[in-house]
Amino acid sequence: MSEHKIIEGKGRDVTSERYLYRSVTNRSVAGVCGGLGERFHVDVGIIRLVWLFAAFLTAGIALIPYAVLALTIPKESQEHAAAKTVPSTDLWQQVRSNPALLYGALLVMVGAVLLLNALGLLPWRLQALWGTFWALALPAVLIGVGVFLVLGVMGRAPDWRQWRDLRGTGYRMPLRRSRDDRTIAGVCGGVATFFQIDPLVVRIGYVMLTVLTGFAPGVVVYALAAFFIPQEAGPLQE
């Protein structure tokens, strides 16, 4: 009987811990949002979406306190992770399992930012960001085309077959496009696997970054990544 009481006492001590920690069982990047949700009994999906939206509104500045918390908050102990109660509802899992809900939430977030930008309520202006990007991108494109033409006249232009073969040498790259976790070409899923983070965070971050840069650059970058990054090997290719 005494042994039974000791075990129960240990269980109560573990599950009643109230300090702030980074969750090891509910994490998308570093477990900060999961730890905050478990500490204050708030749906972690709401915390993640609010944090992503705040990062979008502040052009990435809100990611700085996340990085600080990830470096300063201790990781959850394995004993506490094994004994704690798992929340019965999780908005984040619902978003992951329902693509229509995900894309609807993204449309709402993008539309809200565009509306706030039109009303002049953002601390920065999308037009200024887009103008700065294109002011740098256009000269870079002109220089690249000019260098290619000059090399062509000198007979030193790269052979187009080399560009085609570049994709075939992608086996040297540690990054792979995901074969299973994919929405279009598996780029976001591959990036998430490489950095060991939640692919949903990568996809939402990519959409937001695409909006911030004026849509076209994000589409071009994704297309180039889909072309040059090789796909992970299938079961018969391993």
Q: At what angle do helices 126-153 and 99-118 cross, to 10 degrees?
A: 100
Which tens digits make up the pLDDT trace of 37-68?
A: 888 888 888 888 888 888 877 777 888 888 89
In order, the DSSP letters of 2-47 are HHHHHHHHHHHHHHT--S--B-SSS-SSSSHHHHHHHHHT--HHHH
CA distance 168 to 162: 10
pTM over 0.85: no
- Contact call for residues 55 and 67 (beta carbons, < 8 A): no
Which tens digits make up the pLDDT trace of 104-152?
A: 878 887 888 788 778 877 777 777 777 777 777 778 888 888 887 887 7
Q: Flag the least confident range among 4-18, 47-61, 176-190.
A: 4-18
